[in-house]
Amino acid sequence: MHLNKWPKLADSLAGAYVLGTLRGRARLRFTRMLRAYPWLAARVAEWEDTLMPYTLPQKPLAPPRSVWHGVAAQLPKRKTPVSGWWQKVGLWRALSAGLALAVLLLVLWPAPPAMPYMAVLNNTAGQPVWMLRANRHHMALVTMRSMPVPADKSLQLWAIVPGKKPISMGLLPTRPGRTPILLTPDHLNMRRVALIAVTMEPAGGSPTGQPTTAVLYKADILSTQLSS
């Protein structure tokens, strides 16, 4: 089936792939299509950006006190309630202050770097647990499900480059959440990574710098670059 002839179906499959509801042989076939069609991998990446925040437990984030002071300073002072258009003026002033703050945050907040490489690591039940996004210099990870491990063990992520020894990409978190954007290892070229793999290592990681146990999970690296 040529999914480019069925854009609505392709979009639905991409969403199901990210949510983890696409399973079994259908998921395997779709994964093979992702390797063949970069535009489809790009759609999966868009679904990940849209849906992943809603799958994670969100904690309230308190803004710095200076932000509150800045907002309060621009709000109109409370006076005896009056009717008429003065109330509307106060409302518009408050809205203008909030809009100005939002624009300021958009200007000052750095935009995240583009992440054209992605991989989804599933557990033995076929459920997505980790989603990796990366570029030549940065990587970010989303943990979608808890993965309990013994207290004396750690899960370690490896990049597999054909013809070379596995390269450690660090320890994997075991609770749902997003990691900050991290630097990729200096000697790792994401363009050459064929897949990523996970092993169970002693707490703190492999003492040898190489996997010491069998691979538990693995996933292909997919490129969302339409020109690739």
The one-letter amino acid at 206: S
pLDDT band of residue 184 (cuts 50, 70, 90) is confident
Sequence letter at residue 125 = A
The pLDDT of residue 142 is 86
Helix (H) or strand (E) holding 117: strand 117-122
pLDDT at 109 over 60: no
Which of 94-103, 159-168, 219-228 has the least mean pLDDT?
94-103
**Cα separation of 5 and 197, whole Å?**
34
In whole angstroms, give the CA distance from residue 18 to residue 31: 11
Confidence of residue 161 (pLDDT cuts 50, 70, 90): very high
Return the ∠ at Cα 170 (arms to 53 and 145), rounded to 5°.
Answer: 35
Q: Tell me the average pLDDT across 121-150.
A: 87
Angle at 126 between CA 125 and CA 129, to 5 degrees: 100
pLDDT at 106: 44
Helix (H, G, I), strand (E, B) or coil at 121: strand
- CA 147 from chain centre, in angstroms, equals 17
Q: Which two tokens stand for residue 31?
A: 């994964």
The mean pLDDT value for 151-161 works out to 94
Mean pLDDT computed over 178-183: 75
pLDDT surpasses 90 at 224: no
What gap in Å lies between CA 87 and CA 5, rounded to an integer?
55
In whole angstroms, give the CA distance from residue 220 to residue 154.
22
| Per-residue model confidence (pLDDT) at position 2 | 66
Looking at per-residue pLDDT, the higher value among 120 and 13 belongs to 120
pLDDT band with cut points at 50, 70 and 90 for residue 205: very high
Region 86-99 average pLDDT:
49
Q: Which amino acid is at 139?
A: M
CB neighbours (10 Å) of residue 20?
A: 19
CA dist 72 and 65 (Å) reads: 11
With a cut of 70, say whether residue 47 has pLDDT above it.
Answer: yes
Q: How much is the pLDDT for 85? A: 44
Rounded Cα distance, 133 and 141, in Å:
6
pTM (2 decimals)?
0.55
> Does the pLDDT at position 101 exceed 50?
no
The Cα 71–Cα 178 span in angstroms is 29
